[in-house]
Amino acid sequence: MSSLAVKDIFGFKVIAPLGTGAASMVFAVQDPGDKQIYALKHVVKNTDKDQRFLDQVELEYEIGSKLSLMNDRLLLSAAVYQLTQGNRLFNPPEEPTIVLQIGKVRARGIEAEATGEILPGFERA
């Protein structure tokens, strides 16, 4: 699926492609009912090997916000996420040739970032 040719996914209007990887594409989409904008991850099974991405991802949630202050001299962003994967595979560091199936895993976290121009020409992240 070419990200440029996609106009609609599952009833959501595609605004723009955001990224690709791991047999998936991420789009900025808009719900035609309430006009709310979301990020939608579309996992595509092109080969039998891609089935592992569908098996692994059970639930992904992320909510965040960005704020621009002082005429874009200070940019703040924050997000909260939870990712639950099933059928997770693990390679022990001491035996990299062994693959273990460890079942379901969950990752939760908070991400925050501040980027700003402290003085003209002096930026910090």
pTM for the model stands at 0.49
Cα–Cα distance for residue pair 5/25, rounded to 1 Å: 13
DSSP alpha helix (H) spans, 3-122: 51-56
Q: List the chain pLDDT tens, one digit each, 125 residues.
A: 454 577 888 899 999 998 887 778 889 999 999 988 888 888 878 888 877 777 666 677 788 888 988 888 889 999 998 888 777 778 888 988 888 888 788 889 999 999 888 777 776 76
Task: Tell me the CA distances in angstroms from 7 to 18, 24, 27, 64, one per residue in order.
Answer: 14, 16, 10, 25
User: How much is the pLDDT for 112?
Assistant: 94
Query: Structural domain boundaries of the chain?
Result: 1-44, 58-125
User: How much is the pLDDT for 4?
Assistant: 54
Local structure of 48: helix, strand or coil: helix
